A and B are shown apart, each in its own frame.
Chain A
Amino acid sequence: MSEEHKRYLSKLKRKRILIKLVQIGILILLFGLWELFAHVKIIDPFLTSSPSRVVQSISNLYESGMLFRHLGATLLETVISFLLSTVIGTLIAIILWWNETVRRISEPYIIVLNALPKIALGPLIIIWAGAGRNAIIVMALLICVIITIISMLTGFMSIDKGKMQLMKSMKATKLQTLCKLILPGNIPTLISVLKINVGLSWVGTIMGEYLVSREGIGYLLVYGSQIFRLDLVMASTIMLCILATAMYLGVSLVEKLIHKYY
């Protein structure tokens, strides 16, 4: 290795460390100022809470035995709607790819469903699915499934024409074309859909919990604001940040695994 290359590598490494340090520094600074300002009453801790109060609030929840019940409820709803929407959306996209007539018939309906703000269906969903976990899952599912269908179908339809001709010249059946070309050729599409859905399923779940729930992070947020306990609201928000990020990292891990084998 030449001296110049060594210098280049160490420069890269220094930059990487610097960026990490600044990232962590900003976090510490934000929380530190937040705590300090609340402590010396520059800001009103009744309205803004403070890191120490947030920690207190979380440990209260833990001691009352409710912490994991709330986190678990939200996580379960999110994961179920995430998986269901990906599977159902992909299946519907396959049906639409398979049959051109069905695809063209369904086109305006998909456009309308995509344009519609799904939250508007909240009251209907509650009446039809009951005020409980089912309604929350249906809500999150509706938010994710349409975009899944659209993204997957776009991926299916944009497979290289030359590859389709190759399959046709080999006398491949439609099922063979699907299994050997369309699906494996759209693994990158699937990964980007997973990344979109991991965000949207959280949106759906929290919105659903706002509407109907008796437990979960969304419930804590609404409850906390109703009784004006901002400690609880802030604590819930921070826990939500951590959970959502963890799930995103989980998807990134799946992506890496897929890349290894594909």
Chain B
Amino acid sequence: MDALLEVRDLSFIYHSPDAETEAVKRVSFEVGREEFVAIVGPSGCGKTTILSLIAGILEPSSGEIFLKGKPWEEMSGLTAFMPQRDQLFEWRNIVRNVLLGLEIMHAKTPENITYARSLLQKYGLAEFEKKRPSELSGGMRQRAALIRTLVTSPELLLLDEPFSALDFQTRLSVCDDVYDIIRAEKKTVVFVTHDIAEAISMADRIIVLTERPAEIKSIYRIDLNKTLSPLKRRELGFGDYFKKIWADLEVKQCRKNIKDISVN
């Protein structure tokens, strides 16, 4: 078995004084080495929750997560999480932002610092390493945030709507950037998005979730040319994928929207 990540019967319940909310219900899937998997679902369905569980931010109510066949807890250095928006720290310059993970793991060795610098160099941020995040464009910030997740040399990257804060045009080019970097560094990725086109343009496989509590509705293998960039894939068209996934994501939602409009 060559699965890097194995999620088995994962469930999660949010507790609050008023109620308990079942967010994730018996979700199982596997992710192979160097695979690019997208999780899509209706908004608020719990896709980010699944990612948080894999990232160790939340503890599952039940179910198991295996990395390289071993329980999650033993392999925690293997994953790195990239939160929504870049979350760079304004009081640190770019290179110190990028080194944050190493500092926390007490792994700020000269070799690792050299590696971080080489990544900044390779992806065009070397001359900005002493700048504050606010001095960078949205796309550059996103690249810096990605490099921050790469410096601890994880094998599995977990991206939570990585492009949601960007405008459409920047989004397409940053999407290409990120895709290139991840392919070049041979990383495995699980990423969450609400944008079907984005998912199809980047992913090898797409997991479609139901409304809350999130269960797996369907899984699509995307047979588009892997050597093409996401932008090229968009240009060539997505075939039937878009239509199928759109249909999976509940007709119910559309009807609700139409009702809202007619009330207005």
* Docked-complex contact B87 and A169, CB < 8 angstroms: no
- Residue of B57, B85, B89, B91 near A169 (CB, 8 A) is B57
Query: Given A180-B100, A184-B91, A185-B89, A165–B52 Cβ distance below 8 Å?
Result: yes
1/0 per position for B88-105, CB-CB distance to A under 8 A? 010110000000110111
* Number of residues from A at the complex interface, CB < 8 A: 18
| Chain A 174-191 residues near chain B, CB threshold 8 A | 176, 180-181, 184-185, 187
B83 within 8 A of A: yes
> Interface centre among A163, A170, A171, A181, by most B CB within 10 Å?
A170
For the residues of A in contact with B, the DSSP-based class is: helix
B133 → chain A, closest Cβ, in Å? 12
**Measured between alpha carbons, how far is A46 from B100 in the docked complex, in Å?**
68
| Chain A 134-172 residues near chain B, CB threshold 8 A | 160, 162-163, 165-172
- Residue of B89, B91, B100 near A170 (CB, 8 A) is B100
A8 within 8 A of B: no
- Residue of A160, A176, A180 near B87 (CB, 8 A) is A160
- The interface residues of chain A lying within 8 Å CB-to-CB of B104 are 167, 170-172, 176, 180
**Measured between alpha carbons, how far is A162 from B160 in the docked complex, in Å?**
10
* Docked-complex contact B83 and A165, CB < 8 angstroms: yes
A131 → chain B, closest Cβ, in Å? 45
* Docked-complex contact A168 and B56, CB < 8 angstroms: yes
B216 within 8 A of A: no
* Docked-complex contact A168 and B105, CB < 8 angstroms: no
B81 within 8 A of A: yes
- The interface residues of chain A lying within 8 Å CB-to-CB of B79 are 169
Smallest CB gap from A187: residue in B: B91
Smallest CB gap from A161: residue in B: B83
**Measured between alpha carbons, how far is A146 from B118 in the docked complex, in Å?**
49
Residues of chain B at the chain A interface (Cβ within 8 Å):
52, 55-57, 76, 79-81, 83-85, 87, 89, 91-92, 100-101, 103-105, 152, 158
Residues of chain A at the chain B interface (Cβ within 8 Å):
160, 162-163, 165-172, 176, 180-181, 184-185, 187, 262
Q: A163-B87, A180-B103 are in contact. List 6 more A-B contacts (CB 8 A).
A: A162-B84, A163-B89, A165-B55, A168-B57, A169-B56, A169-B83
